[in-house]
Amino acid sequence: MTQVKRSPWILHYDGSSCNGCDIEVLASMTPVYDAERLGVENTGDPMQADILLITGGINAQNAPVVKQLYDQMPRPKVVVAVGICACTGGVFKDCYNIMGGADKVIPVDIYVPGCAARPQSIIDGIIKARDLFQKRSEEHDALMKKQKLERKGEKS
């Protein structure tokens, strides 16, 4: 297990799912599977979130909501599509109201397939998201430090 520099916060959003994946996401956060032991925290505020866990397919009604949640999250951020519906649209992909998976609206970094996705798979996706977030955080910190030094050099 890698050393966690920051504890990323997870925002869970249900697109238009059957709630099977939502139940599994919530199960992965309970003491039985205890995803919080991996250094992540659950939040309901997109402005505090680092990782977006999205379940369900995307339709015309929730597409602007998903885009708004993504835009409200600070950088660096990671998106995890949980369940086959969030990955591709799943069994509902040919329905008139489903546009497809989450990647039709926002960039998705990690895909966790399954119908419904098992808590073990979700936790594996969370671990990958946490590691990707740590990598992006280090790159972001280095960039901010470089820009700060450049601004300091301009003032001199």
pLDDT band of 83, cuts 50, 70, 90: very high
Q: What's the pLDDT score for residue 156? A: 59
Output the domain CATH number for residue 104. 3.40.50.12280
Q: Provide mean pLDDT across the span 31-41.
A: 85
116: in domain: yes
Short-list 48, 43, 58, CA closest to 12: 43
Domain-embedded: residue 1? no
In the chain, the N- to C-terminal Cα span, in Å, equals: 44
**pLDDT, average across residues 35-55:** 89
Q: Are 54 and 101 in contact (CB under 8 A)?
A: no
Q: Which of 3-7, 109-113, 137-141 has the lowest mean pLDDT?
A: 3-7
- Does some domain include residue 106? yes
Q: What is the 3-state secondary structure (H, E, C) of the chain?
A: CCCCCCCCEEEEEECECCCHHHHHHHHHHCCCCCHHHHCCEEECCCCCCCEEEEECEEECCCHHHHHHHHHHCCCCCEEEEECHHHHHCHHHCCCCCEEECHHHCCCCCEEECCCCCCHHHHHHHHHHHHHHHHHHHHHHHHHHHHHHHHHHHHHC
Q: How many domains does the chain have?
A: 1
**By residue range, what is the domain housing residue 80?**
9-155
Quote the pLDDT of residue 4.
Answer: 60
Give pTM, 2 decimals.
0.86
Average pLDDT over residues 66-70: 94
Whether residue 4 lies inside any domain: the answer is no
Q: Per-residue pLDDT averaged across 27-53, rounded?
A: 88
Report yes or no on 2 lying in a domain: no
- Please tell me the predicted confidence (pLDDT) of residue 20: 87
In a domain, 140, yes or no: yes
User: Above 60 in pLDDT, residue 2?
Assistant: no
